[in-house]
Amino acid sequence: MADKITITVTRRKLTEILIGLVALFFAGGALAAVLDYLWPKTEAKGESVEVKIATVDEVPTGTAKKFSFNGKAAVLLHMPAGFRAFGSVCTHLGCIAYWKPDENVIYCPCHIGKYDPNTGTVISGPPPSPLPSIDIIVKEGSVYALKWKDPNYVKSISFYAGAA
Ligand code: FES
């Protein structure tokens, strides 16, 4: 003979339980965000990972491809001297810069900032510093992002810049 257990839950108690579960859900999300900031993922700490950006055929010489690296906007350029990758968040006020082939620059439309597509250095305009470089590797017909050259870059823009 099976034992029968009966649990009685009032409507008030059920509501309290549901509210508690919702609160727990949001508290967990906030805790995860705090932990992610305090102990960033491997690639955000400047350690090397391989993130496939594109196949070599996708980006012929003289063209570019936007991508996201560590959640930040970035651009892969195929210059005559080879592939280059930079974060594309403008170092002036955080607009997204892009490849402008007719001027051979990485261009920020907000205040006409221009960066060298080979080095990321500022050519003209108000940006105070170069675009951050991303180490890349080309192998087996694809281009992979490895890490930010400056491991402090991601933290420095975390609170005011978004992804592409
Ligand atoms: S935000 Fe790029 S030049 Fe001002």
Kindly report, residue by residue over 100-134, the tens digit of the pLDDT. 999 999 999 999 999 999 999 999 999 999 999 99
Whether the CB of 44 sits within 6 Å of ligand 1: no
Determine the average pLDDT of the residues in 5-20: 83
Atom 1 in ligand 1: which residue has the minimum CA distance?
93
Long-range contacts formed by 159-162: CB under 8 A, 24+ apart: 160/94, 161/72, 161/73, 161/89, 161/94, 162/71, 162/72, 162/73
Q: Tell me the best of 89, 100, 110 to mutate to test the pocket of ligand 1, counting ligand atoms within 8 Å of each CB and taking the most.
A: 110
Asked if 98 and 107 count as a contact pair (C-beta separation under 8 A), the reply is yes
- Assigned CATH topology for domain 48-157: Rieske Iron-sulfur Protein (2.102.10)
Please report the pLDDT score of residue 130 as a whole number: 96
**Ligand 1 mean position to 107 CA, how many Å?**
9
For residue 149 and ligand 1, the question of a CB distance below 6 A is answered with no
Contacts of 97 (CB under 8 A, 6+ apart): 75, 88, 89, 90, 106, 107, 108, 113, 115, 131
Please tell me if the CB atom of residue 51 comes closer than 6 angstroms to any atom of ligand 1. no
| CA 120 to centroid of ligand 1, rounded, Å | 14
147 touches 126 (CB < 8 A): no
**pTM to 2 decimal places:** 0.69
